[in-house]
Structure 1
Amino acid sequence: MFIGPAFLIYAAFVIVPLGMSVYYSLLRWDGIGPISGATFYGLKNYIEVLTDDDLLQIIGNAFQLAAWFTIPPVVLGLAVASAIRSQMAGRFGTATRTILFLPQVIPLVAAGIAWSWMYDRNGVVNQFLSLIGLESWTRGWLGDFTYALPAVGIIGAWVLLGLCTMLLVTGIARIDGSLYEAAKLDGARPRHEFRFVTLPGLKNEIGICVTVTIIQALSSFDIVYVATAGGPGIETTVPGLEIYRLAFAHRQVGLASALAIVLMILVLACVLPIQWALRERKQ
């Protein structure tokens, strides 16, 4: 009885839409006419998702973004959290956490617009490169076939850095200070403290950071839509954006639904092993 109200809400907004998506993925339907007039298509939509070169590239783009959204925020977050460990209660630690967390309270659309201005030919990034003598490196970053996807990845890394840092700082605060004192008495240097005390104590927090950033990358839409609209070509197109285009621009609701289901399976395939590993460590 206590679970009932929450389960009804979950069913209405998760289970029912998921079931409808699976059903639509088996049809050939333009989304306009009555569903009764749709043609049963079987698994052909899924076969197209897994064999079409453009759709496979789009899925690959999402995994490249996952690397950008995950590795820099987690690595830099660990570095910052370790650096301010002894000053977390002071003004410096408070100011650092506040500054790094600011991107989390900025709407992603606004962040995408701001970064697109900075990446412009006359933007701050190119001005800075010219100032330090690297004028040959200047380019229209978001319009370059080689650098557009990494440029978008940097935006995502900037947005997620604050969240990862806050999670890791909170994790460090839970580590028993006597462990660091014992390490110092044994002659451990800072790098040894980081390797043998900080990292083992932050395994759960690192797992959470990796889970959140991977989900954010694979389901990304707004930053890509605002910054590049998927261009140039399909170099920065991600599954979320392609699902939107297929369903509302090309009227291929069945193919869009199949891509959405495949994306959900990929997210689960990436996230569930991390969750299982964390659960084993807790036991």
Structure 2
Amino acid sequence: MPDGNTTARRVRRLTALAYVAPAGLVYAGFALWPAVHTAYLSFLHWDGISAATPAGLSNYRSVFTDPAIGPALWHAIVLIVFFAVIPCAIGLLLTALLQGGVRGMTGFRIVFFLPQVLPMVAVGITWRWLYADDGLVNQALRAVGLGGITRAWLGDYNFALIALGLIGTWAMSGLCMVLFLAGAQKIDISLYEAVALDGGGAVRRFFTVTLPALRGEITIASVITTIAALASFDLAFVTTNGGPVNRTTVPGLLVYRLAFNESDIGRAAALAVVLTIVVIVFVTAIRRLTRERP
């Protein structure tokens, strides 16, 4: 017969499950089940209307032999530099500059974090106007005497991917800065005082105290921004739709085209599964590289 302590533990466990159950059901219904169903569809030939037929591994073979997949994956990897590496570097730099406390810190955070509040579709449309031949970017270049380098940036084969990546840099830098500033606030001030007593300046304090203490925040920022780069469908779709000449095509855009333009749901699902695996591989690598060594 269970004693009082065992009964109390069971009650606490059931109470905890009761609180978690609603969120768990929502997550299972809107995240887990769609993922499982997508994996199921990847083994079928289906146009979204007629009856589906078994496909075996043919959809996956088609994905890995499609000549468009390699360039699209490479474009996504290039975007990681603009969505993750550069924003994290900018966020660390801004944290180092603002950490000491400046007037109007709340205003700085709001301004830099604002792109995260805006829908990425709205961001893409706005930057498409800014990058246009008569947009503000070219107007600013002409105003400072650099009219010779102006162009329709998103329509230029050599600069379209870079221009798209810089939008991601603008959008993600504020997120990284806010995460790093929040992490820096939990650092014990006595650590900085010890470095100062040892004769260390601002640069040494940052690299010996701040940077190691932000390991967790750097991991979170890197994971979020890397996923945004690998799954950057909305921004590419709104700004360039993969052009010019597929120069800015990313895997998410190929999934959309296969599903809605070519009505090949099976191949689209297979590519989505492959993209998910790629995201998991990158996230796992980031977590291993940034984890604290014993």
Q: TM-score, normalised by structure 1?
A: 0.92
When structure 1 is superposed on structure 2, of 188-197 and 209-218 the one drifting more is 188-197
CA-CA distance at 1:43 after TM superposition: 1.3
Number of aligned residue pairs: give it.
Answer: 277
Structure 1 position 122 matched with structure 2 position 99? no
Amino acid at match of 1:21: T
SS at match of 1:206: helix
Q: 1:167 aligns with which of 172, 179, 182?
A: 179
Amino acid at match of 1:76: I
Tell me how far 1:11 sits from its aligned partner: 2.5
Cα distance in 2 for partners of 1:206, 1:171 equals: 9
Q: Is the 8 A contact 1:49 1:56 kept in 2?
A: no
Structure number with bigger Rg: 2
Preserved contact between residue 207 and residue 274 of structure 1 (Cα < 8 Å): yes
Alignment match, 1:92? 104
Could you give the per-residue CA deviations for residues 34-56 of structure 1, whole angstroms, max 9, x where no partner exists? 3xxx2322112112212221122
Report the AA paired with residue 145 of structure 2: G
Identity among equivalent pairs (%): 44
Candidates 49, 56, 70, aligned match of 1:56: 70
Equivalent residue for 2:255, pick from 243, 247, 253: 243
The residue correspondences of 1:196-211 to structure 2 (distance < 5 A) are: 196-211=208-223
1:43 aligns with 2:57: yes
Residue type of the alignment partner of 1:19: V
The answer to which of 19-28 and 246-255 deviates more is 19-28
Give the equivalent residue in structure 1 for 2:5.
none
Deviations along 1:98-132, one digit per CA (max 9) or x if unpaired, are 21111111221111111111101111111222222
- 1:138 alignment counterpart: 150
Q: 2:124 matched to 1:112?
A: yes
Range moving further from structure 2, 129-138 or 249-258? 129-138
Partners of 2:25 and 2:137 lie apart in 1 by 49
Q: Give the whole-Å Cα distance in 1 for the aligned partners of 2:26 and 2:135.
A: 46
1:80 aligns with 2:78: no
Which moved further from structure 2: 269-278 or 16-25?
Answer: 269-278
1:17 aligned onto 2:31:
no
One-letter amino acid of the counterpart of residue 25, structure 1:
S
Structure 2: distance between partners of 1:209 and 1:142: 27
* Separation (CA, whole Å) in 2 of partners of 1:100 and 1:165: 8
Amino acid at match of 2:103: R
In 2, the alpha carbon distance for the partners of 1:255 and 1:157 equals 31
2: distance between equivalents of 1:106 and 1:205? 22
Separation in structure 1 between the aligned mates of residue 221 and residue 249 of structure 2, nearest angstrom: 24
Of 252-261 and 231-240, more deviation after overlay is shown by: 231-240
The letter of the residue matching 1:42 is G
Look up the match of 2:165: 153
Describe the superposition over 1:214-255 as per-residue Cα deviations: whole angstroms up to 9, x where unpaired: 011111121111111111121111111211111011101111
Q: Structure 1 residues 84, 4: CA separation in 2 closer, same or farther (over 3 Å shift)?
A: closer
Distance 2:23 2:82 in 1: 35
The RMSD of aligned alpha carbons is: 1.7
Match of 1:281 in 2: 292
Of 94, 99, 103 in structure 1, the residue corresponding to residue 115 of structure 2 is 103
